[in-house]
Structure 1
Amino acid sequence: MTTTTEQAREPDILCHGLVRIFSTEGVEVQALQGLDLRVERGDVVAIVGASGSGKSTLLSILSGLDRPTGGSAVVAGTDIGTMSRADRVRYQRHTVGFVWQQTSRNLLPYLTAAENIAVPLVLSGAEARAERVDELLSLLGIEHCRDRRPEQMSGGEQQRTAIAVALANSPRVLLADEPTGELDDATSAEVLEALRGASERLGVTVLVVTHDPTVSEHVRRTVQIRDGRTATEVLRRTERDDSGAEVHVAEEFAVLDRTGRLQLPEEFVSALALRERVRLALETDHVGVWPDGAGRGPSVADGVADPGGNADVAGTADTMAGSAGPVGGAARSGRPRRRDLRGSGTDG
């Protein structure tokens, strides 16, 4: 029997070995290649990556618009892969909310902001609809748009209205696909702040797919997807230095999957010209990585390597335990890659 305490510890998003293969005219494309992801309840996480890395495919699966070819995806206790058609409708109405990049996919052009927000409430048969509409207009700071149609709003107002629509039925998880893709920097910051504010006020879990470089100012955790797998994570926190000044700290981790594989950051691979094979050595508190043919390389007997080019991948117990997602081994000279950012919420 699952207790209330155990339920509270369960993540809102849990993906294990997620695979998605598309077949077109006899050609198979593997968009997701065994992706692992864990997002805790109430967290705000950004997914970043190059075009074709699998970000949008992941979001389509989590939203119930697509099914995985293999692996598992569980959102708010619902197994995506086993849902019936009726389950899928209920899931999309009550469990997840979705915000698209294009306004035309979020809002009905002939309805006002208040009417757009009311639509999902009407479809689900919710009561106290007027009160819920008022609450969301206030929460998103768009009371002045109540009687405006989308064409009468700015781009930022349209996206904040879209967030209100996605939140109308009180979903556990809010998914956003490039919500700032068509906005300027200032307006993008307003929309990202609105997503974070919604999470803090309503307790909703937020997963944002974005190319926006300023996203790090608004989330505690950024996950990079590369080649259909989670590759690296950046975790952020605030500390006080010796003088009492507030310092924003960002640490970058490589993600270790369930089979023990990890992807080194591209800059590490390029800097040391790592190709095909590398040498490994298990040290007391980290794993050393050397290019194939770089001098003598690591010695199995003494565990000491030549001082030539190498990359140390640290995996100390406290570092690994501190990762919020899949267990991350930190990279660079035996320590997590860490940035101290005074007076800034970015990771540089």
Structure 2
Amino acid sequence: MTATAATPVVPDLADLQKRAAQRAAERAGGRDRLRGHIVCDGLVRIFKTEGVEVVALQGLDLVIDRGELVAIVGASGSGKSTLLNILSGLDTPTAGIARVAGYDLLNLSVKRRLSYRRKTVGFVWQQTGRNLMPYLTALENVELPMQLAGRRGGRARRERARELLEMVGVGYCADRRPGQLSGGEQQRCAVAVAVANDPEVLFADEPTGELDEATGADVFAALRTINAELGVTVVVVTHDQAVATQVRRTVAIRDGRTASEVRRTARVGADGSTELVSEEYAVLDRTGRMQLPAAFVEALELRDRVRLNLEPDHVEVRPGEQSRGEGKAEA
């Protein structure tokens, strides 16, 4: 099931994607490790509180390749934040498979989990105040993770910190404390902090949620730059549709499962201009189940059961009872 629509091109997005793939291949050491950098298979997370069970993830499947920049979207309560907490090592799944950069997240010892969070993944919180130490300068904040990991000498750490701040566009903030920075500057500094120890994966939880549109665009540009220049796999949880349209792949989660994906490809028109073309796909799980887009269900008043017809090149979905016309959806 596809729906195609042209959207305005994001400047240099195709070039950024190409550079990210090249950097990712270099990070993989030339070996064929580009597939399945993040793998979730039948992922389940159940929370139990005072005898009440809440199923946040209900057999979620997801594969993200090395070097991708992916946005995960979903309504409040869909399970996207739970997924991010599991992948970042902040929470443990109840069942299923969750692997990131070779780490089995269901079976990590305390020591291995600490190493995973310190060296393999970086994290940017929505709340700007959670990302930076208020009594340290921006430069010192970026140096701190390297110092805690016992990496590099003092001069090397400082040079690396300045390089990262310049990369995300806030080199001029090096000697300022967080209280002297705007919200957008704080978040860009936070991105530099998150990649200080050269992680393989960067997770960002609503990084533009407290910012206006223009400032949020600057923060997301910093994430794109990190992805392109360092080859870091970047996963962003967001409700901001403006952000979601700036990536090549957007994954929608509904009721604890992956429901659909939007993939964007650059195409050159007859006049030589370039545009991004978006295609939406429903996600088919291992048992053949999929979720129809809510807009389709509402438009055709689908409920309870539907009729399926197998055609030579597609599957036809019709309402079970034709009470209002002969509407249909095709997959």
**Is the shorter-chain TM-score for this pair beyond 0.5, marking a shared fold?**
yes
Partner of 2:20: none
Structure with larger RCO (C-alpha < 8 A, sep 6+): 2
RMSD, aligned α-carbons:
1.4
Per the alignment, in what secondary structure is the counterpart of residue 9 of structure 1?
coil
| Higher mean C-alpha deviation, range 286-295 or range 258-267 | 286-295
Measured against aligned partners, the alpha-carbon deviations of 1:246-273 in whole angstroms (never above 9, x if no partner) come to: 2220000000011110000001000111
Q: Distance in 2 between matches of 1:142 and 1:184?
A: 18
- Is the Cα contact below 8 Å between 2:40 and 2:97 reproduced in 1? yes
- Is the Cα contact below 8 Å between 1:196 and 1:218 reproduced in 2? no
Per the alignment, in what secondary structure is the counterpart of residue 293 of structure 1?
coil
Structure 2: runs of 5+ lacking an equivalent:
1-27
Partner of 2:84: 59
Q: Of residues 98, 114, 133 in structure 1, which corresponds to 2:123? A: 98
- Is the Cα contact below 8 Å between 2:35 and 2:64 reproduced in 1? no
Partner of 1:247: 275
| Higher mean C-alpha deviation, range 237-246 or range 44-53 | 237-246
Per the alignment, in what secondary structure is the counterpart of residue 8 of structure 1?
coil
Partner of 1:131: 159
Q: Of residues 111, 116, 129 in structure 2, which corresponds to 1:86? A: 111
Per the alignment, in what secondary structure is the counterpart of residue 15 of structure 1?
strand
Whether 1:311 and 2:329 are equivalent positions in the alignment is: yes
Shift of 1:132: 1.1
- Is the Cα contact below 8 Å between 2:72 and 2:252 reproduced in 1? yes
Assess, with a 3 A threshold, how the Cα gap between structure 1 residues 154 and 4 changes in structure 2: closer, same or farther: closer
Q: Distance in 2 between matches of 1:264 and 1:5?
A: 40
Q: Of residues 308, 312, 329 in structure 2, which corresponds to 1:280? A: 308
Q: Of residues 290, 302, 308 in structure 1, which corresponds to 2:318? A: 290
Q: Of residues 97, 100, 109 in structure 2, which corresponds to 1:75? A: 100
Per the alignment, in what secondary structure is the counterpart of residue 186 of structure 1?
helix
Q: Of residues 218, 225, 238 in structure 2, which corresponds to 1:197? A: 225
TM (norm. structure 1) is 0.84
Q: How does 1:134-145 map to 2 (within 5 A)?
A: 134-145=162-173
Q: Distance in 1 between matches of 2:328 and 2:31?
A: 43
Q: Distance in 2 between matches of 1:259 and 1:308?
A: 29
Assess, with a 3 A threshold, how the Cα gap between structure 1 residues 5 and 290 changes in structure 2: closer, same or farther: farther
Partner of 1:326: none
Per the alignment, in what secondary structure is the counterpart of residue 223 of structure 1?
strand
Shift of 1:294: 2.3
TM (norm. structure 2) is 0.88
Q: Distance in 1 between matches of 2:293 and 2:240?
A: 20
